[in-house]
Amino acid sequence: MAVPTHRPVGKDVFFMMTCLCDAFYADVARAAVEILEHAGCRVHVPEDQTCCGQPPFNGGDFKTSREIARHTAKVFAGDWPIIVPSGSCAAMHFHGNSLQFEDESDREEMTALGNRTWELFDFLVHGLGLTKWEGKLEKRVAIHHACHTRGTKTGEAIKTLLGSVDGLELLDFGQGEQCCGFGGTFSVTFPTISAGMGTLKLDHVLAQQPDILVSADMSCLMHLSGLAEKQQRPILHQHAVQLLRAAMPSV
């Protein structure tokens, strides 16, 4: 996977909330902004932002996905870091665009967009240099590391910050690197395989009896929680940043 070459960061940042925040997980966007502000950032949220372009890209409609990416580059123009509460959407900027713009005249502009894009936890730890999060939270936590965060520093960053919270226990479970089975359009095209993969993931997670399942990707959480509910074995789930906010002494 192509990974970004990040520049030094300042205190002004763009926030890209993603489609899933907009449609299903509004509180994840609120939590992310609160955490960034608590860390000393000035957060700017362009109102005309849209999707990262991954759905049409995954479906092979590169013409449409390039149009969306070019719009994103225009909306987030400048030098500020672009913070995304989704490893999948962040990877679309720095990996997907590196593929679909390889032979395009604006390849360098899109590469620059990717190099300014950070997944949220990667930014907190490796951009801002945070290694400890003050606060306390008595929870047994299972972390699902999404496929799109492989090869990046997101998984390490989540463990660093959540693992530093007093009272929070991070659980190991079998086949921790196993895909949840969502894969965007994969879950629609191959629903039986997708459900089987998600069920296997849930089997291993639930065997450890966690209080909560967290991830840096809302799509994975939506898939796994939907399967769990359908199978009548629901599990409390949150984006990792919501758990970080819950541990803040002032919240």
For residue 61, give both structure tokens. Answer: 């409609």
For residue 16, give both structure tokens. Answer: 């890209």
Length of the chain, in residues: 251
Mean pLDDT, the chain, rounded, equals 94
CATH of 132-246, one of 3.40.50.11810, 3.30.70.2190, 3.40.190.10, 3.30.420.40: 3.40.50.11810
The pLDDT assigned to 8 comes to 60
The pLDDT assigned to 147 comes to 92
CA dihedral over 184, 212, 150, 49, signed as positive or negative: positive
Task: Outline where DSSP puts E strands in 173-249.
Answer: 212-215, 237-239
What is the reported pTM? Answer: 0.93
Residue-range domain boundaries for the chain: 12-126, 132-246
CA geometry: angle at 34 spanning 28 and 36, to 5°? Answer: 100
Q: For residue range 137-162, list pLDDT tens digits in order.
A: 999 999 999 999 988 999 999 999 99
Q: For residue range 123-136, list pLDDT tens digits in order.
A: 999 999 999 999 99
Distance CA 81, CA 90 (A): 12
Q: Which stretch of 2-11, 49-58, 192-201 has the lowest confidence by average pLDDT?
A: 2-11
Which is more confident, 5 or 86?
A: 86
